[in-house]
Amino acid sequence: MKLGLQLNSFDWRGGPERFAKILAGVVTTAEEAGFDRILVADHLWQHPIMGGPEANEPECYAMLSFLAAKTERVGLGAMVSGVHFRHPAVLVKSVTTLDVLSGGRAWLGVGTGHYEEETRGLGIPFPLQRERFEMLEETVQIALRMWSGERGDERPFEGKHYRLERPLNLPQSLTRPHPPIMIAGDGEKKTLRLVARYADACSLRPGPQIPKKLEVLRRHCEEEDRDYDEIERTCAFAFDVGEDGEKAGELVEQLRWLSGMGIETVIGMVPGVDRIAPLEIIGGEVIPKIAGR
């Protein structure tokens, strides 16, 4: 099993003046601790469960560029980008640039989005969910077109929601054939079918429903003539080791429970991550015990 770090809470000690220094310490420590990737929440307002609109929420891809300069090994991406935030070509260009600047470590994390309040507050259109699913599929299709060959597939793209006259993409991504694509969500009829059709990884919610969701994904893979084992099975979680590491053993058991249900990579937020110590505890007492499972 591999662990990924999700950064989704940013009310750190010292305020914005110390943010860059703390963030650099967080990501370099996470890389040294053995995390496989670092993913950043893609919101413009902080989510209600993490403090709501009045809490700090920096822009995702600006942060990821900063992370690319501060790390050397870990994968980098959004957890995840709602399709309503950016035109697909702009999103693909952002991920491509991140891939180039990071030496081939970018991920495309994408989903339909769900936080309507932030979009209404900032004047960003928020289409109906049915339309956002259509936009999600077209976004992934455009990404694969733009990452084709050395320049992208330059034939026009004609979709229901997007039209590209020339999907040129230069510089091209370093990761070939393309940066890995993770589609978030565990809806059985639409989302998991899109995962089977296009994605390199899924992102599920933790819980006893995971085996059922993975069986649904397996059936979709059979219908799409896709190798189920090609898709990395991930889920989100919370890596709470306590103030002094007293919960590290409990976390190890939770991760083993997820592994036993078929999860390969767990992407977790770490309470008090700006204190750095929790990351060091995970690196010393958790990752060595779950690596290779």
The answer to whether residue 64 scores a pLDDT higher than 90 is: yes
- The pLDDT assigned to 130 comes to 97
Angle at which helices 60-70 and 19-33 pack, to 10 degrees?
A: 60
Cα separation, 265 vs 116, in Å, equals: 29
CA nearest neighbour of 53 among 112, 5, 122, 109: 122
pLDDT category at 293 given cuts 50, 70, 90 is: low
Q: What is the pLDDT of residues 273-285, one digit of tens each?
A: 999 999 999 999 9
Count other C-beta atoms under 10 Å from residue 18's C-beta: 12
* Residues 32-54, mean pLDDT to the nearest whole number: 95
* Residues 263-269, mean pLDDT to the nearest whole number: 98
* Residues 19-45, mean pLDDT to the nearest whole number: 97
Q: What is the pLDDT of residues 93-122, one digit of tens each?
A: 999 999 999 999 999 999 999 999 999 999
Task: Tell me what the pLDDT averaged over the chain comes to.
Answer: 97
- The pLDDT assigned to 36 comes to 98
226 backbone dihedrals φ, ψ, rounded to 5°: -115, 140
The answer to whether residue 217 scores a pLDDT higher than 60 is: yes
User: What is the CATH number that goes with domain 2-290?
Assistant: 3.20.20.30
- The pLDDT assigned to 156 comes to 98
- The pLDDT assigned to 291 comes to 84
Location of structure tokens 């889920």: 235
Location of structure tokens 């790390």: 71
The rounded percent of the chain whose pLDDT value lies above 90 is 97
pLDDT category at 12 given cuts 50, 70, 90 is: very high
Query: pTM for this structure?
Result: 0.96
Query: Domain residues of the chain, as ranges?
Result: 2-290
Cα separation, 268 vs 248, in Å, equals: 14
